[in-house]
Amino acid sequence: MYRILFAALLAAAADGQTLLSLDSQTKNVDFTKAAFTRPVKTGTILPSTCVVGDLFFQTNASAGSNLYGCTSANTWTMQSGGGGGSLAIDNNGTLVGSRNVMNLIGGLGVVNTISDTGTQINVQQSVDTSVIPSKASAQSGAMWLCSSAGSSSAYTCGLSPTLQSYTAGMVLDWKPNVNGAGGATTLNVDTLGAVTVKQADGVTDPVGADIVAGRLYHLWHDGAVFRLMTPAVSAASAATQPACNVSQRGRFWQTLGGTGVKDAVTVCAKDASDAYAWRSIY
């Protein structure tokens, strides 16, 4: 009898239970005034210590570059999101691509020095003067100067920095140490191998007056030989004047006279019959 009465009371209680309405009972709560705890710590300076998993929001960093995560003990790494957090890279106004990482690579002779100040990344560029000459180096002429040693027909010389290979069109300033003997002559630069030295035409051997010790001569490599950039006038006191022919055409020759004897100046030219000869000017 008691069991039947207890069951009836439970059923009645169930039928009369109160229902909770979230709409009516929460409509007067002001969430803007509710107290919240920030999910990460904030500040203007990254903490000096951290453990893996810590997060920090740097308030004075550029928007989108504020959030840092501790990736290893005491090491903060800026967290960048995919897509919207990527950096667009242009080349003269043309888009190259957009990526989360930009890798700066120094080119030939260009040196990058990159540092992180904590608030920005600084990139400072400079040049490697062993590859790119400075203005002072160019003004000194040192990088073209090749001072010789060796005999009067087989010269050697060295450049600074050391020449790596002969190339067509290369130019150097050659200072021979002894007078040339005339005839077949070679120059070996930085032990790269002996190269024949010719007059400006690239065919004719120099004569004795073409190579004088202590003078500075401009040479250029035509891909096979070094050519002398012959001065307008060759002056000689004892050297034998070469034969006048098509290779010497237009060349001036000054023979230096001794005491009481005037100098003689001639030019190699042809006449109307196409005969070549040294024509006296003075």
Chain segment 189-199, per-residue pLDDT in tens: 999 999 999 99
Rounded to 5°, the CA angle 52-55-50 comes to 45
Contact 236, 209 (CB under 8 A): yes
pLDDT reported for residue 82 = 47
Give residue-wise pLDDT tens across range 127-151: 888 788 888 888 888 889 999 988 8
* Maximum CA extent, the chain: 164
pLDDT over 70 (residue 10): no
Task: Return the pLDDT at 24.
Answer: 53
Contact criterion met (CB below 8 Å) for 250 and 269? yes
pLDDT band at 83 (very low <50, low <70, confident <90, very high): very low
Q: Is the dihedral of CA 200, 204, 210, 216 positive or negative?
A: positive
Q: Which two tokens stand for residue 60?
A: 């004075």
**Given this model, what pLDDT does residue 121 score?**
84
101: amino acid identity, one letter: V
Q: How many other CB atoms are there within 10 angstroms of residue 236's CB atom? A: 16
Higher pLDDT, 174 or 35: 174
8 vs 74, more confident? 74
pLDDT score at 56: 93
Confidence of residue 100 (pLDDT cuts 50, 70, 90): confident
- Is 250 in contact with 239 (CB distance < 8 Å)? no
Residue of higher predicted confidence among 23 and 92: 92
Residue scoring higher pLDDT (3 or 126): 126
For the chain, the first-to-last Cα distance in angstroms comes to 157
Cα dist from 147 to 117, 159, 175, whole Å: 49, 8, 5
- Between the alpha carbon of residue 55 and those of residues 76, 86, 259, the distances in Å are 9, 21, 96
Domain ranges of the chain: 39-80+104-131, 133-231, 232-282
How far, in Å, CA of 97 to CA of 217, rounded? 52
* The pair of three-digit structure tokens given for residue 219, joined into one six-digit string: 């040479």
Compute the average pLDDT of residues 79-84.
Answer: 57
